Amino acid sequence: MFSSLSDNLDKTFRKLRGVGHISEKNIADALREIRIALLEADVEFGVAKDFIANVKEKAMGAEVLKSIKPGEQIVKIFHDELEALLGADQAPLDLNPPARILICGLNGAGKTTTSAKLAARLKKEGRRPLLVACDLYRPAAIDQLATLAKQIDVPVYTPDASEKDVVKVAKDALAWAEREHGTVILFDTAGRQEIDERLVEELKRLHAFLQPKETLLVADAATGQQAVSVAKHFDEAVGITGIILTKLDGDARGGAALSMRAVTGKPIKFAGEGEKLDQLFEFHPSRMADRILGMGDIVGMVEQVAGKLNEEDAMRSMQRMQEGKFDFTDFLDQMKMIQKLGPLEGLLGLMPGFNKIKKQLPSNAFDTGKLKRTEAIVLSMTPDERRRPEIIKGTRRARIAAGSGTTLPEVNTLLKQFGEMRKMMKSPGKMKGMMKQLGGMGGGGMGGLGDMLKGLGGKFPF
């Protein structure tokens, strides 16, 4: 999401690092470029102005101007101020009983899906969440919440279609919740295309009745400048306690994330990245500041991978690689593991400096269609063919192409690439080099990862 802002900031900071002596003019020029970058990223004008003033005050200090590496000092000042702007510390939910969470926001922001995502997350933490459908204006909203609740196996209260009093729905839902013995109740409320008085008054009545511990505003990261007025309006109406940003995996410019926290003073508690119900993550200001400055988020990446991969399966595949026994059955397992991680581009986006490497990769390096076609080819093989790909000759190749809905050249290319990959795995020297590259992914240097990704994008089939 912050790729454009990150690129612009990177250019500015590279200029500063390349200057032997920092002067007031250098700093003024850099801050002018940074201000333009922030405004282009849809950061609210007042927020950008105050932010630049804070950075300037600290960057003009004598200890910076006289330091050995003033460019690095200014980057650190910018990082610290960015982290403070985003909220400094991660803000946990208040789940002390009675734990009631009111979810509000405009239509299209993703309130209903976010309610289910948050319920799934709370369930994973060992709590017993309950969902309540309080959107009485959009018929599909109640059905959507019920469908999502079924997917995550969480009880849901759905009112009668004829009911129009949201407070009565909430009262009946609380009685139902007592019978269900839930520990956290999430209320998914109605939204509008724009803020209107009817929505606000209804929300006020519901809020006054429930007295929720948390009132969370769900905001689309792509909203841009409008996000500030939306956040202020909801905060003035019901006093929001936190913000959940959705669609952080999109191509939004990111200004909403920087502006809403500054304008409302309320923390961003979670961020949604992707459509899957397990793709809701705690918002850590320091990690987000790292991402904006191209430093990546290794901790976030490890957390995502650890939560979705089976360690025993991963170790078994690694063992077979090292022993040179890796076959198409193992390869199929690897593809399924990759698909569990969600969009690979988003995951690797958490690596330090990935935006620079991404520009050097082939355009189809993260093509999910290519992955699915590859999977179809492997699934069209017999168990014996997967174990012994060397037996796949002319007629077998034609049969596999027809069965997978692909072409003979695609089958030939996959077999050739897989053969090259197996040769590498059987070569102790090359395998050691590959493991070294993988081992260095978490460090400061990016050369190994860059070489590996280029290889994956062009030479290998995944």
Burial (CB count within 10 angstroms: exposed 0-12, middle 13-18, buried 19+), residue 428: exposed
3-state secondary structure of 219: strand
348 labeled binding residue = no
Listed in sequence order, the residues at least 6 apart from 56 whose beta carbon sits closer than 8 Å to its beta carbon are: 27, 28, 31
108 labeled binding residue = yes
7 labeled binding residue = no
Could you tell me which of 28, 175, 206, 18 has the C-alpha nearest to residue 104? Answer: 206
Do the beta carbons of residue 148 and residue 112 sit within 8 Å?
yes
191 labeled binding residue = yes
User: Given the DSSP bridges, would you call strands 242-246 and 214-220 parallel, antiparallel or unpaired?
Assistant: parallel
The CA distance from 305 to 344, in Å, is 11
189 labeled binding residue = yes
190 labeled binding residue = yes
Beta-bridge partners for 242: 216
135 labeled binding residue = no
368 labeled binding residue = no
The CA distance from 370 to 372, in Å, is 5
254 labeled binding residue = no
The CA distance from 252 to 273, in Å, is 12
247 labeled binding residue = yes
112 labeled binding residue = yes
403 labeled binding residue = no
Could you tell me which of 124, 444, 442, 100 has the C-alpha nearest to residue 282? Answer: 124
Q: How many CB atoms are closer than 10 A to CB 232?
A: 15
91 labeled binding residue = no
Phi, psi of 186 (to 5 degrees): -110, 125
349 labeled binding residue = no
3-state secondary structure of 220: strand
188 labeled binding residue = yes
Starting at the edge strand found earlier in the chain, the sheet holding 99-104 runs: 156-157, 129-134, 184-189, 99-104, 214-220, 242-246, 268-272, 280-282
246 labeled binding residue = yes
Which residue ranges make up the annotated binding site for GTP? 105-112, 188-192, 246-249
- Which residues participate in the annotated binding site? 105-112, 188-192, 246-249
